[in-house]
Amino acid sequence: MDELTNGIMADFRAWVKDLLEEAEKIGNRAGAEALESRVRTEGQRLLGNLWERLLQQTLDRQKEARVCPRCGGRRRHKGVRPRGLISSVGHVRLKGPYWYCPQCHAGEHALDALAPESVSRLARELICLMGTCLGGFAKGSKVCEKALGIKLDEETVRTLCLKEGHRVLESPPIPPPVPQDADLVGSCDGTMVNTLQDGWRELKAYRFEHVGGRHAGAYLESAEEFMPRVRKAALAMKASRAGRMIWVSDAAEWIDKGISVQLPDAKRIVDIWHARQHLHEAARKIFGEGTAEAQRWGRRYSEELRQDGGRGVWHSLRRVRYKDLARQEALEALLGYLDRHADRLDYPTYERFGYPISSGGMESFCKQLGQRLKGPGMRWSIPNVNPMAALVCLWTQDEWDNYWRKAG
């Protein structure tokens, strides 16, 4: 023990002495900056070295692991072998006995008991963070080296992220339960992702929020597979305790149909931004793309929609007639939409009762999914989309720490 302590202290002492000598010579900014750089890079190398020695000592003190943990039989000592580990303070290399069980045909390095994978738990979290919150694995790899001092190629960052994403899908974190009598607000939407096998495909996403937290999921799959997940998520958040459950989203058919089956008790409201898109789309068709008239018309009825609801706009427009067939069709399509969904476009009532009328959180979530999953030139193999989306969900919805606290 003393020998180890002395060795480590001697290294540190020599290093600090050297730094002090250099500090004395500093006369300008360039000198100070060079010294800062030395403190950082050499300091990390020393920390890596310290961690390597601490781990090596623990390994050396391990009892002989001759008994096989699987079958209880006797294992063979196959000599002392090196094994590497990517740690949060850099790559370390340990030496330890390698055990082999002839009954199980399985071998195990002594280090496996302390660090079962090639990457430590903390390094894994940091690498996954870089691979998730930046715009791609290549960027993640660069930041791992620059900010963490861990040299990893893009492929390794990709492999680690996708493997972790699969783990998140298998054992997701428990979402924050809704407080008694609080509002639970849910939403869903789709965003397109470019796949190698099948071109652009819709990634479907849901999101719930309440005063105590939020939770989201995103999956590349059919509406039939996706919608039951929304119900499962609501149950996991203990939706029955909520005072009101409100669903704010586009009135797309797959969403409407799914929610009426999966969350029949939810108060359904059409997200006002989606509804306004319908107004602007009709305006463009009636008055021409980009015209001042289209803009004026769109803005006028957008305002009326909030004040008087879908029914009010319908009443204002129902007697309008255009000679041009295409314009009349566009107007009638809009009238049909307003009529069909009138009971979900009643914004003045919602505002009176304090219901949310827009799903800003969902919009923002979809944007963040897009930033990570549809960057320039990005194309995904289909099996990799859901794992990657799972990591983005954790990160963007503040469930990251919650997951990693329990991650093995």
Binding stretches for Zn ion (CB under 5 A): 68, 70-71, 73, 101, 103-104
Cα 283–chain centre separation: 37
Nearer to Zn ion, 7 or 69 (CB): 69
Min dist CB 37 to Zn ion, Å, is: 51
Nearer to Zn ion, 101 or 392 (CB): 101
Decide if 137 contacts 162 (C-beta within 8 A). Answer: no
Min dist CB 85 to Zn ion, Å, is: 24
Min dist CB 102 to Zn ion, Å, is: 8
Measured distance CA(269)–CA(249) in Å, rounded: 7
Nearer to Zn ion, 73 or 199 (CB): 73
DSSP 136: S
Q: Under 8 Å CB-to-CB from 404, ≥6 apart: which residues?
A: 125
Measured distance CA(214)–CA(232) in Å, rounded: 15
Min dist CB 61 to Zn ion, Å, is: 24
Cα 388–chain centre separation: 7
Nearer to Zn ion, 101 or 391 (CB): 101
Residue with tokens 């929020």, as numbered in its chain: 209
Min dist CB 110 to Zn ion, Å, is: 16
Min dist CB 241 to Zn ion, Å, is: 49
Nearer to Zn ion, 73 or 243 (CB): 73
Nearer to Zn ion, 50 or 104 (CB): 104
Nearer to Zn ion, 101 or 205 (CB): 101
Min dist CB 100 to Zn ion, Å, is: 9
Min dist CB 70 to Zn ion, Å, is: 4
DSSP letters spanning 152-209: --HHHHHHHHHHHHHHHHHSPPPPPPPPTT-EEEEEEEEEEEEETTTEEEEEEEEEEE
Candidates 378, 403, 379; CA nearest to 390 is: 403
Nearer to Zn ion, 50 or 106 (CB): 106
Nearer to Zn ion, 72 or 354 (CB): 72
Measured distance CA(270)–CA(45) in Å, rounded: 56
Min dist CB 67 to Zn ion, Å, is: 9
Residue 117 tokens, joined? 């994978």
DSSP strand pairing (183-195 vs 106-109): unpaired
Candidates 394, 407, 383, 391; CA nearest to 123 is: 407
Decide if 184 contacts 237 (C-beta within 8 A). Answer: yes
Measured distance CA(106)–CA(100) in Å, rounded: 6
